Amino acid sequence: MVSKVIISIDGTSSTGKSTIARRIAKKLNFTYIDSGSMYRAVTYFCLKNGIIFNNKIEKKKLSENLEKILIDFKLNPINSQNEISLNNNFIDSKLRSLEIAEHVSKIAKQKNVRNFILKIQHHYSKKNNIVMDGRDIGTVVFPNAKYKFFLTASSKTRAKRRYHEMKKNGLNISFSDVLENIITRDKDDSTRTNSPLKIPDDALTINTEKLSLDELEKIILDHIKNN
Ligand code: C5P
C-alpha cells in the first residue's frame, strides 16, 4: 500500500492554523482534520454530562464515559465543509465559546483523552492524504509527516483575531477575557507532561503576524513544491 501524505500545521492558539489548513487541503485535494475540534468536542461532552463539575474534572467518570464518545469527520450538507460530528451531530458551531476554551486545556492534558484521540487521528491517516492542525501533530501524532509547519504570532494579535471571530459569531465576550484565555492556554498547552506544544525540529516556522492569508498560503505551497 502506498503510504498517505501528511501535512502537519502546529502552533499556539489563534495563529490562523485552521483557516490556512483548510485552504491548503482544498488546494491539494487533501482531507482537512481540525484536531483542536476533537479536544473541544470531548470538552463539550464533559460539560453536558457533568464530567466537568465546579471547574473540576471527575476523572473516574471521564474514563467510564470515553467509549460513549463517537467522533467523526464528514461532509456537513449545510456548509459543504468536512466537519466534526459528535455522536452523529454536527456541533462545530457550539465548540467556539469561551466556556469551552476555558476548560479544553484541562481535558487535553489527560493521558486517556490523548490516547483516545490519537487512535482516531491515526485512523484517518490510513485512508486519506491529510492536512491536520493542532499542537502535537508534527511531534507526537505524525512524527514522520512529510511536511511540517509551525505558526506563531504575538498573543495580542492572536487575541484580536479570535475576539473578532467570536464577535462575528454573535458571542458576548470582552477582549481582555479572550487575551487572558489565550495566554493561559499557551502556558497550559506548552507545560503539560503529555504531548506538550513544541516546535518540531524539522518544521518550517512561520510568523504570521504581518502575513495575509494569500501570502501564508504561498509560503506553505512553495515549501511543499520545493521539498
Ligand atoms: O486549536 P484549538 O484552539 O481549537 O485547540 C483547542 C485546545 O485543544 C488547545 O488549547 C489544546 O489544549 C488542545 N489541543 C491539543 N492538541 C492538539 C490540538 C488541540 O492539546 N493537537
What is the per-residue pLDDT for 127?
A: 87
Please give the grid coordinates belonging to residue 132.
Answer: 491536520
pLDDT over 60 at 1, yes or no: no
Number of domains in the chain: 1
Indicate whether 176 belongs to any domain: yes
Quick check: is 94 in a domain?
yes
Q: 136 CA to middle of ligand 1, Å? A: 9
In a domain, 224, yes or no: no
Residue nearest to atom 21 of ligand 1 (CA): 134
Domain that holds residue 202: 6-219
Record the cell numbers describing residue 195, joined without a space.
504531548
pLDDT digits (tens, 9 = 90+) for 198-217: 999 999 999 999 999 999 99
Q: Which helix (H) or strand (E) holds 193?
A: none
- The answer to the question of residue 205 being in a domain is yes
* Cα 176 from Cα 40, distance rounded (Å): 21
Determine, yes or no, domain membership for 1.
no
pLDDT for res 94? 95
**Res 2 pLDDT > 70:** no
Condensed to tens digits (0 to 9), the pLDDT of residues 113-164 reads 999 999 999 999 998 999 999 999 999 999 999 999 999 999 999 999 999 9
Per-residue pLDDT for 52 more than 60? Answer: yes
Sort residue 62 into left (φ over 0), alpha (ψ -120 to 50) or beta. Answer: alpha
Counting from 1 in the atom list of ligand 1, the atom nearest the Cα of 109 is 20
Q: What pLDDT shows up at residue 224?
A: 98
Contacts of 84 (CB under 8 A, 6+ apart): 34, 37, 38, 41, 71, 72, 73, 90, 91, 92, 95
Q: How far is the CA of 15 from the centre of ligand 1 (A)?
A: 12
CATH number assigned to the domain comprising residue 39: 3.40.50.300
In a domain, 67, yes or no: yes
Mean per-residue pLDDT for 169-176? 94
- Taking CA atoms only, the protein residue closest to ligand 1 atom 14 is 36
Give, for ligand 1, the residue of 8, 38, 39 to mutate: max count of ligand atoms closer than 8 Å to Cβ: 39
CA atoms of 221 and 167, how far apart (whole Å): 31
| pLDDT tens-place string over residues 60-110 | 999 999 999 999 999 999 999 889 999 999 999 999 999 999 999 999 999
Residue 24 lies in a domain: yes
Count Cα atoms within 13 angstroms, Cβ side, for 103.
Answer: 23
Full-model pTM? 0.96
Whose Cα sits closest to atom 2 in ligand 1? 36
Question: What confidence tens digit (pLDDT) does each residue in 31-41 have?
Answer: 999 999 999 99
